[in-house]
Every structure is written in structure tokens, then in C-alpha cells.
Amino acid sequence: MIQQANSEKGMGFIIGASSVGTLIEWYDFYIFGMLATIISTQFFPEDSGTSALLSTLAIFAAGFIVRPFGALVFGRLGDMIGRKHTFLLTLVLMGGSTFAIGLVPGFKTIGWAAPIIVLVLRLVQGLALGGEYGGAATYVAEHAPAHRRGYWTSWIQTTATLGLFLALGIIILIRQSQGVEKFSAEWGGWRYPFWISLLLVIVSIFIRMRMSESPMFAKVKAEGKHSINPLKESFGNRANFKMVLLALFGAVMGQGVVWYTGQFYAQSFIENICKVNFVDSRDILLIAILLATPFFVIFGSLSDKIGRKWIIMTGLLLAICSYHIIFTQFLNLTDAAARRDLIDISKTTKSAAIATFDSKDRSKMLVSTHYDSVYTDGAVYSYTYVDTILLSKAYTGNTNAIAYSLTSNSSNTTSDSIMVTAKVIPGVSFVNGITNVFAVNKAGKPGLVIEKALDRSTFWKMVFLVAIMVVYVTMVYGPIAAFLVELFPTKIRYTSMSLPYHIGNGVFGGLVPFLGTLIVEFTKTKENLAGDPLAGLWYPVGVAALCLIIGVVYLRNHIDEDVLD
């Protein structure tokens, strides 16, 4: 009989070898997202509807459609030819496509071929990611001793977080060493993270080649009991299909939304709704993740003692009950009105007004004024007020003259029109001069852009709050691999667990930012132009609540001692 238990040393190698590959796959997946702005500039033409379509496909299709397909394709392979060779294949596909993205010439060089090639390579990435996780989790779980399965598989769960760190670390390092301009050039430093992937993948392949096949799968195959048609046996067999549905609706869909809310939507909310600057919001997230990451292993290990179900359900319950409280705190901590008394007037500055024409409608002039409010506790809130001024007729002056400095702005006493005297700043072939532009009125309320640099106290309070949400992530995500592995038989495990996992995370989780923003849009009215900023939370809270009810009622708190069968 094949021994299920392995020495701690042997498990260390298995975990290391499995995790490195999964970590690299996450790294590959993240760098595309982190460099999305540069990628769209390099590969997609500006102001093109087709370009926007391709860009949408690259983001949506790779995340939502292709990942579950990858789970089916590679899950099937993994149950037929074995875990080891399948996740070697996913690694090669992921690494190869990532490296290739770094080699594709820009739109300026090869035209429409550039975005199409990038789209295809991105789809291959999504496909490979769909096949990777199930293989790694299955492989580790099938090696782990029964009483430590939650502990050992929880290491796999940390790879998504570590991949994020690796991607961010490499990008920051290259950008700081090269400078922004060189980094963003057509063949600049932004391509290096893609090329580095090849190196990482070669190392990982070398490590994985030394691994043996999962003992359980090897036994099943040696006895001729492996599945001939894993898809049919997984989804055509009611006894198994009902467990696939239970895994999805009773655990993974809730886990997916809690994960994406804690690690992705929170940052988006802090940056876009609270208007905290990019550097602070990124640092808040990274420190919070770093502080909370050990809890993956803690909760994975705890699940070996008290079972998987109640840890996952507690994580869901805490998230449902506290999301509104935590996100309200984000708003309160960064509320400018509440901090009015702390403004240091002596340090607060106001820039000269700058006026520019609307690029598409030259009968509109945009006048912007910049303020830096400095607070006694060290915070700096920057505001840019933008007034739209409707001109009596479209300006037909030299198109090279793109910027105007507002020198006077006086109300006309006879009507609601105003007169703007603008000093023309020279373009390429334009002479300095003064232009009088007659405006009919100011249109609507001024636009307001705010960027907030936080004081240290607020910064650390926000780190604490995000860390709490990441701890919820560790509660639902830490034990999930062991939970899924124990639901399904060895011969169809790879297929059966991969599909609910990638639907739960790719679809339910991946849609949190999109649907969250959409729900906020629903709440916008003429009286309340900003809408309810917390309304976006109803999607993750609703899905998590549904999952909690199904999980509590239908799941069993069971640790399967024997996953050999």
C-alpha cells in the first residue's frame, strides 16, 4: 500500500516545488494587470472603438471565460495523464506566453497585429492559470499526511499573495532604476518583468521535473482505475455533480468575493472613492497583506483540528457583518470636512489658474485651480477645481496653442455671461499674445479632483482595517484547498475541484470591482451626483450571505481521513 504520510522534510520539498510554480503563475498573471496602462498605450491605438473592445476582451475573457475552461481542459488532462505532467504543461504555457508578450512589437511597429497577438497570449495565460491551482493543491494534498492536510495545502494559498509581492517588487525595482520615461518606452523596462518570467519558469520547471507523480494517482493508474472520461464522470454523474455544485455555492463563491473585496476592491475604494494617493493606498494594502499572510497557515493548520467548514463560515459571517463598518471608517478617516480644524493656513498653497480648451469641443474652456491643504498632523490634501466655461463661439485660433493662463475673470453686469481674458502660451509655431475669449456662462458645478497624502496615524489605522479584511481572506481561503480535495475521489479530483474553484474566484470574485462600481452608479441621482459610495458592497455581502446560508445548512464539518480512494 502506498504510504500517504510523508516526512516533514519531504513535504517541504513538495510544497516548495509546487508553490514556486504556482507563485510564478500568479506573478505572470499580475504583471499584466499592473502594467495595464503601459500595455494599452503600447499595444492599443488611442481613441479607437476596436481597441477598447480588444482591451475589454483581454481583461474580461482571460479572467472570466478562459479560466473555467482552463480548469476543464487541464483538469481532464490531470486526471488522465497525471498531476505532474499537467502542471508542468500549464507552467510552460503560462511562462511562454508571458515571455512572448514581452517580445511583441508595439502598435506603432506592426499595427493591429500587436493587440491581437497580445489578446491571444493573454487568453493562453488565463487558460494556464485555470489549470494550475487545482493541480498544485491536489498534488500537495495527495502527499500530505491526513492530520496535516489543511496545514500543508495552506502554503499553496499563500502563493497568490506572494506572487503579488514579487510582481510589484520587480516592477518598482526596474522603474526606479530606469526612471519613468525609459521604463515606459516601446522597448523600455516595462518589458523586463515579462522576460524575467522565462528565467523563473526555467528554474521552476527544473524543480518540478525532479518531482515524482502523486502517489495516490500513481496507484489509481497502476490499478487501471483512473478515469477514461473525467468530464463525464465529474459532471455527468449526479452523485459527484451535486458535490461540485455544493462546493461552488456553499463555499467557493463566498470565498471568491471575500478574497477580491479584501485584497482588490479595498484598494480600489481607498484610491478612487477616498481619493488617497496611489503610493499610500498601495503601501496600505501591501503592509496589511504582509501582516495577515501568516494567518493562511494558522487557519489551514487550525482546520486540521476543528474542521474546515466552521472556519470558512466564520470568515464569511465576519465579512458580511463588518464590511459596511470598515468601509464607513475608510470614508470617515479621510473625510476632509471633519479635518477642517487641522488645516495649517500658513502652509496651504494655491496655484495660478490654468485654462485649456476641451480637446473635442473648442467652445468649452476648462479652467483649473490647484490647492494643497496642509494639515498640522502632516497630511496633505490636494484639490484641483475645474470650472467649465461655455464660450459664445468655438475658438478657432492656432491649434498648437493648447494652454491658457487665466489672467482675469470678471462678471458681466448686463447678463449672466462672463468675460475671460486669457494669455496664450506659445505652441510650436505660435506667438505670445493676449486673447479675449467671451464666455456665455459657467456650466454646472465645478469638477473637483482630490488626492490625499495621509498622516501617519490615519495611514496605520487604515492598514489595521485592511489587515482585518485580509484576515477574513485567510479564514476563507486558508482551508479551502483541503476542503475541496476531500470532497472528490482521486480519479476525478483535478477536474472536479478546479471548475468550482475558478468559477468561484474568477467569476464571482473577479466581478467584485466591476459590479461594485456598477451598483454605485445605480444610486446616483441629480440630487446626489456621487451616489452611495458604500452601495458597491451589497454585491460581495449578498453573495457571501447566500454562500453562508447554503454552507451552514448543507455542508458537513468533516475531515476526510482517507483521500486515497
Partner 1 sequence: MNEIKKYLGILWILLSPAIVIFLFWQAADKITQASNATRANVTLQWSIILIIFIPICIGLAIFGYYAFKGYYEHLPESSTEISD
Q: Residues interacting with partner 1, by CB under 8 A?
A: 49, 52-53, 56-57, 60-61, 64-65, 233, 237-243, 245-246, 248-249, 488-492, 503, 507, 511, 514, 518, 549-550, 553-554, 556, 558, 562-563, 565
Quote the least distance from Cβ 249 to partner 1, whole Å.
6
User: What are the two backbone dihedrals, phi and then psi, of residue 383, each rounded to the nearest 5 degrees?
Assistant: -120, 140
Q: How far is CA 270 from CA 106, 320, 461, 471, 516, in A?
A: 33, 19, 13, 18, 14
Quote the least distance from Cβ 565 to partner 1, whole Å.
4
**Residue 334, helix vs strand vs coil:** coil
Per DSSP, the residues of 160-188 read: HHHHHHHHHHHHHHHHHHH-HHHHHSTTS
Our CB check for partner 1 shows the closer of 4 and 441 to be 4
* Burial (Cβ within 10 Å: 0-12, 13-18, ≥19) of residue 404: buried
* Lookup: cell for 473: 481572506
**Residue 95, helix vs strand vs coil:** helix
**C-alpha atoms less than 13 angstroms from C-alpha of 405 in its C-beta half-sphere:** 10
* Lookup: cell for 360: 473635442
What is d(CA 269, CA 92) in angstroms, rounded to the nearest whole number?
35
Our CB check for partner 1 shows the closer of 86 and 240 to be 240
- The DSSP bridge partners found for residue 349 are 372
The set of residues, in sequence order, having a beta carbon less than 8 Å from that of 394 and lying 6+ positions away, is 361, 362, 363
Our CB check for partner 1 shows the closer of 361 and 565 to be 565
Quote the least distance from Cβ 410 to partner 1, whole Å.
36
Q: How far is CA 332 from the centre of its chain?
A: 25
Quote the least distance from Cβ 166 to partner 1, whole Å.
29
Our CB check for partner 1 shows the closer of 8 and 562 to be 562
Quote the least distance from Cβ 329 to partner 1, whole Å.
30
Instruction: Report the Cα–Cα distance between both ends of the chain, in Å, rounded.
Output: 12
* Lookup: cell for 106: 508595439
Going by the DSSP 8-state scheme, the letter that residue 66 receives in this structure is: I
Q: Would you report the helix, strand and coil content of the chain in percent, each value rounded to 5?
A: 65, 10, 20
Dihedral sign, CA of 334, 337, 338, 342?
positive
What is d(CA 446, CA 426) in angstroms, rounded to the nearest whole number?
27
Quote the least distance from Cβ 396 to partner 1, whole Å.
25
Our CB check for partner 1 shows the closer of 165 and 241 to be 241
Quote the least distance from Cβ 324 to partner 1, whole Å.
22
Our CB check for partner 1 shows the closer of 128 and 550 to be 550
Quote the least distance from Cβ 151 to partner 1, whole Å.
22
User: Which of 266, 381, 404 has the alpha carbon at shortest distance from 329?
Assistant: 266
Quote the least distance from Cβ 56 to partner 1, whole Å.
6
Quote the least distance from Cβ 317 to partner 1, whole Å.
18
Our CB check for partner 1 shows the closer of 252 and 401 to be 252
Our CB check for partner 1 shows the closer of 150 and 489 to be 489
Show the CA angle centred on residue 295, arms to residues 290 and 298, nearest 5°.
145
Quote the least distance from Cβ 492 to partner 1, whole Å.
8
Our CB check for partner 1 shows the closer of 220 and 379 to be 220
Our CB check for partner 1 shows the closer of 420 and 487 to be 487
Our CB check for partner 1 shows the closer of 161 and 214 to be 214
